[in-house]
Structure 1
């Protein structure tokens, strides 16, 4: 695990899958039952009272872990037996400490429950970044027959590794690419490097494997042979076991991903119909800060 310090106290950590597993205390927090009850009593009432110390603890941990590792996991944040509507409302109140909830699609939905659609759970979801500052996932129900791990990869670690092995590919990935997102929430066309250095020296990422490859078909600039090769290098690196960390999430677990630092995906899973089906509550947030 490589740490990079800067004058503004940002501490960026580039990690492998083994690093992330070994240093869980940096990014994974478990609330006890008393803390959870206090937190959710205030959240359901939509005003802070007895849970103020728990709120401060959670706020400090999220700030530290998303600022360094780029990801926060909170085990057992909610009672998984609570009604879905109550969980969504209470979580939306809690998240006010971290930014503004923004629409995820053209319909303006502020929350979405992800579930298997026509068997797409059988297919792995490739690594990508969502078009928001923070991606929030709350597990309502894990896959009944296993699988469905949330896959994570450190942009800093990927950048450093490609820079050592294929500096030519890294140079291409740091150039501007066109991502055509027509019909989706937010900017319809994003022009951005896939890997790049921010003002504070931290490494950032923006990657959507399908929209960058389909952009030429929608009028964007054609991809060169050099660009196709660089995409192949990136994908090969992302799927190395030492890069891709698979996180199993239990019902009630919360995950916050800093999109500019961590790429994410999902392993395939076998689902069950009805109440045992895998369900993940998704929220997009913007913080108004450079992330």
Structure 2
């Protein structure tokens, strides 16, 4: 970060991100992992302090530069969840505050196939938190289930070049009605905008924004419908999305205000070989530019 608190942001295509993996992916060796988790389970830093410092600096640099941080081989996915979640939560204290994901106050959730929804693609969106944390417990048994990532800056630059009129519309206030979910019930925010640190920000949930008029929100104009269609078309161009295959034990941190994410379809099987992804939401106190209203 520079002295004026601006961030050296990098917009990227899928090819560029693949070729610059050193910017955003950090491998840990078995000894580093062993020390890290010994301290995490104990709940205090001791022998793993140098590894902690390396991990902390890497995550901050990579989320500043490209909006994501991937750590391969961070944890032992075979560890019991009752043991894993508290240790992982301790490690994450360096990056923000863990927040609830539902009305019951759960601070973590294991994502798995629900009634065959893994057979369909999960569209691009942003979660309602500053940092999305994913820890892979087990990848899909028969392939697929890649975490799809798209740079908000890269998407913005394309739309600015091809359809500047659409970019103006996407920079206006949109209503996202989330009634019934944890956290703010109605979010009013631009979809693409400039943040206080000078980076390009995003907030998008295609189904929520399209259905909000049916829930009492303001009707969408023809100009707004066209803007949503243009945005979705750009997001699904082959060169936009980077598909990240996560192995068991991998950690991924996504800065929601900078990177949109989704998931490719996958083929699974029931039982212990089924795909499972641990999700944690975190807030850092950073103002991303969104505004909230009570429903």
Same fold flag (TM > 0.5): yes
**Deviation at 1:86?**
1.2
1:67-78 correspondence runs (5 A)? 67-78=64-75
**Deviation at 1:290?**
3.1
**Deviation at 1:9?**
5.0
Which digits, 9 at most, give the CA deviation of each residue in 1:157-182, with x for residues without a partner?
Answer: 00000000111111110000000000
2:15 corresponds, among 14, 18, 21, to 18
In the alignment, the residues of structure 1 paired with residue 2 and residue 65 of structure 2 have an alpha-carbon distance, to the nearest angstrom, of 10
Runs of 4+ in 1 over 4 A off after TM superposition: none
1:205 is aligned to 202
User: Which stretches in structure 1 are left out of the alignment for 5+ residues?
Assistant: none
TM-score by length of 2: 0.96
**Deviation at 1:88?**
1.1
Please state whether the residue corresponding to 1:276 is helix, strand or coil.
Answer: coil
1:281 is aligned to 278
Contact kept, 8 Å, 2:6 with 2:197, in 1: the verdict is no
1:261 and 1:6, CA in 2 relative to 1: closer, same or farther beyond 3 A? farther
In the alignment, the residues of structure 1 paired with residue 232 and residue 10 of structure 2 have an alpha-carbon distance, to the nearest angstrom, of 21
1:84 aligns with 2:70: no
1:172 and 1:116, CA in 2 relative to 1: closer, same or farther beyond 3 A? same
2:237 is aligned to 240
In the alignment, the residues of structure 2 paired with residue 228 and residue 162 of structure 1 have an alpha-carbon distance, to the nearest angstrom, of 15
RMSD of Structure 2 on Structure 1 (CA) = 1.2
In the alignment, the residues of structure 2 paired with residue 124 and residue 100 of structure 1 have an alpha-carbon distance, to the nearest angstrom, of 30
2:160 corresponds, among 142, 163, 172, to 163
**Deviation at 1:106?**
1.4
Which digits, 9 at most, give the CA deviation of each residue in 1:88-140, with x for residues without a partner?
Answer: 11101100111100001111110000000000001100000000000000000
1:222 is aligned to 219
Please state whether the residue corresponding to 1:29 is helix, strand or coil.
Answer: strand
1:17-166 correspondence runs (5 A)? 17-166=14-163
Contact kept, 8 Å, 2:6 with 2:198, in 1: the verdict is no
Please state whether the residue corresponding to 2:9 is helix, strand or coil.
Answer: strand
Please state whether the residue corresponding to 1:58 is helix, strand or coil.
Answer: helix
1:173 is aligned to 170
Instruction: Report how many aligned residue pairs link the two structures.
Output: 288
**Deviation at 1:83?**
1.3
TM-score by length of 1: 0.97
1:50 and 1:5, CA in 2 relative to 1: closer, same or farther beyond 3 A? closer
In the alignment, the residues of structure 1 paired with residue 154 and residue 195 of structure 2 have an alpha-carbon distance, to the nearest angstrom, of 15
In the alignment, the residues of structure 2 paired with residue 220 and residue 6 of structure 1 have an alpha-carbon distance, to the nearest angstrom, of 41
1:182 corresponds, among 179, 182, 187, to 179
**Deviation at 1:198?**
1.4
2:248 corresponds, among 228, 248, 251, to 251
1:11 and 1:108, CA in 2 relative to 1: closer, same or farther beyond 3 A? same
**Deviation at 1:85?**
1.8
Please state whether the residue corresponding to 1:274 is helix, strand or coil.
Answer: coil
1:13 and 1:243, CA in 2 relative to 1: closer, same or farther beyond 3 A? same
Contact kept, 8 Å, 1:6 with 1:200, in 2: the verdict is no
1:225 and 1:9, CA in 2 relative to 1: closer, same or farther beyond 3 A? closer
